[in-house]
């Protein structure tokens, strides 16, 4: 197994890699990276309920949208500061996630996929509804402003708004990733996976399946909702059209490509769904969608377990070459 010093070095390297862009990248690429980190966070959320707990959700775009709109409404209509809105967005998304998790207990596989997908399709329509228009801005959407870096920070470290946003996103995501990692590593994580792989045995052993599954949905929704809140401020604009069912599909693609049930995979997945469409476009301006689909399929042919699967195999080979590895 990895020795502790090696792991510590990895963590330091990871931190350095995460912070380096602040100095290395100019505004536009930093903005892209910020969006990629947000996507990774959203994919992490999806991973918790679908990857680790086996409940297929094709509707995480809905939680992303709710988080984004809670933050936007509080900031635009009630003049809250961005930071104050985050716990609110998390809490409300958690509650909605729990509410979705309850009927989900009765459904499995395909049925749950459809139900969550219809949630994703319904959310834009709900956001546009007349009754909520005064708050949500209806089809016109709401405009926000990125927070400016506070003076005490800029006196030490001159940062522009883009850099400050990146730092914020990094810190919030970092906290969420850490919490998720802790959760997965521990008893609850094992219980989630047990429920996914051997539900009858898990129940026979006395695990409260219902609590686990609804809890998973709640936590998952919270994390993706926080990602949504971050995205609202990063883009400085929300509109129902930003949250179509394509978004849910994008998160799903990110999860599968990155590697299901993998924290590292979520990071890769986020990078993939942000940057590969641009790569596809540079290959073919006429039909970027076709190329993106092809890249996706070829990727899955080569790496059916995603990027994290590749990493796992490489690590296995490195740690004891020549010895047969238990799966």
Partner 1 sequence: MTISRRLLLAGSAGALAAPNIAAAQEAPGVTATEIHIGSTNALSGPVSSYSVISRCLEAMFKRLNDAGGVGGRRVKFTVYDDAYQPPRTLEQTRRLVERDRVAFLFNQLGTPTNSAVHRYVNQRSVPHLFLATGADKWANPREFPWTMGWQPSYRVEAQIYTKYVLEQRPNAKIALLYQNDDFGRDYLHGVQDVLKDRFRSMVVTATNEATDPTIDSQIVQLQATGADVLICGVVPRFAAQAIRRVHDIGWRPMMFMTNVSVSVGVVMQPAGVEKGVGLITSDYRKDQSDPAWAQDAGMNEWRDFMRRYVPDGDLGDNNYTYGYGAGTTMIQVLRQCGNDFSRENVMNQARNIKPMEVATLLPGIKVQTQPDNYNVIRQMQLQRWNGQSWERFGNVIEGAG
Partner 2 sequence: MEAFLLQLAAGIATGGIYASVALAIVMIYQATHHVNFAQGEMATLSTFIALTMIQAGLPYWVAFAGTLVVSFVMGALVERLIMRPVQHAPILTHVGVYIGMLLIIGNMTGWVFGYTIQMFPSPFEGGKPMLGGLFSSHQLGSVVVTLAVLILVYLFFTKTSLGLAMRAAAYNPRSARLVGIRVDVMLALGWGLAAAIGSVAGMMVAPIVFLDPNMMLGILLYAFAGALLGGIDNPPGAVMGGFLVGVLENLAGAYIVGTDLKLTVALVIIIGVLVLKPSGLFGRVVFTRV
Q: What is the DSSP letter of 47?
A: I
- CA 241 to chain centroid, in Å, comes to 19
Burial level of 59, CB count in 10 A (0-12/13-18/19+)?
buried
Residue 301 in contact with partner 2, rule: CB under 8 A: yes
Which of partner 1, partner 2, none does residue 200 bind (CB under 5 to 8 Å by kind)? partner 2
Rounded CA separation 27/33 (Å)? 10
Rounded CA separation 14/300 (Å)? 26
Residue 106 in contact with partner 1, rule: CB under 8 A: no
Among 13, 91, 175, 287, which residue interacts with partner 1 (rule: CB under 8 A)?
287
Give alpha helix (H) positions in 198-305.
199-204, 209-235, 245-258, 263-283, 288-302
Which of partner 1, partner 2, none does residue 29 bind (CB under 5 to 8 Å by kind)? partner 1
Which of partner 2, partner 1, none does residue 26 bind (CB under 5 to 8 Å by kind)? partner 1
Of 125-133, 143-151, 173-181, 208-216: span binding partner 2 (CB under 8 A)? 125-133
| Dihedral sign of CA atoms 264, 265, 270, 275 in order | positive
- Give me the 3-32 binding string for partner 1, x by CB under 8 A, dash otherwise: -----------------------xxxx-xx
Among 118, 146, 174, 209, which residue interacts with partner 2 (rule: CB under 8 A)?
118
CA dihedral angle for residue 237, residue 240, residue 246, residue 249, rounded to 10 degrees: 90
Residues that bind partner 2 (CB under 8 A): 50-51, 56, 103, 106-108, 110-111, 113-115, 117-119, 121-122, 125-126, 128-130, 200-201, 204, 249, 252-253, 255-257, 260, 286-290, 292-294, 296-297, 300-301, 304-306
């Amino acid at each position: 197994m990895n020795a502790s010093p090696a792991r510590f070095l990895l963590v330091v390297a990871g931190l350095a890699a995460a912070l380096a862009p602040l100095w290395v990248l100019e505004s536009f690429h930093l903005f892209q990276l910020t969006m990629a980190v947000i996507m990774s966070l959203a994919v992490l959320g999806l991973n918790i309920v679908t990857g680790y707990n086996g409940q297929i959700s094709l509707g995480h775009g809905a939680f992303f949208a709710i988080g984004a709109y809670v933050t936007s409404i509080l900031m635009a209509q009630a003049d809250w500061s961005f930071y104050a809105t985050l716990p609110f967005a998390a809490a409300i998304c958690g509650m909605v996630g729990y509410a979705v998790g309850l009927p989900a207990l009765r459904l499995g596989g395909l049925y749950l996929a459809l139900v969550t997908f219809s949630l994703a399709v319904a959310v834009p329509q709900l956001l546009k509804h007349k009754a909520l228009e005064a708050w949500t801005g209806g089809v016109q959407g709401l405009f926000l402003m990125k927070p400016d870096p506070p003076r005490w920070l800029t006196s030490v470290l001159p940062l522009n708004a883009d850099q400050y946003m990146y730092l914020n996103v990094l810190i919030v995501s970092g906290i969420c990733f850490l919490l998720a990692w802790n959760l997965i590593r521990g008893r609850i994580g094992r219980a989630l996976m047990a429920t996914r792989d051997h539900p009858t045995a898990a129940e026979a052993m006395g695990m409260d399946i219902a609590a686990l599954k609804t809890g998973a949905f709640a936590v998952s929704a919270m994390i993706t909702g926080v990602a949504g809140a971050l995205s609202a401020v990063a883009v400085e604009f929300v509109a129902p059209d930003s949250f179509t069912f394509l978004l849910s599909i994008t998160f799903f693609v990110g999860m599968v490509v990155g590697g299901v049930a993998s924290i590292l995979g979520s990071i890769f997945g986020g990078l993939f769904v942000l940057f590969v469409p641009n790569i596809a476009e540079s290959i073919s301006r006429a039909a970027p969608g076709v190329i993106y689909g092809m890249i996706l399929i070829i990727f899955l042919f080569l790496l059916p377990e995603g990027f994290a699967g590749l990493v796992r195999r490489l690590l296995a080979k490195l740690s004891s070459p020549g010895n047969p590895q238990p799966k």
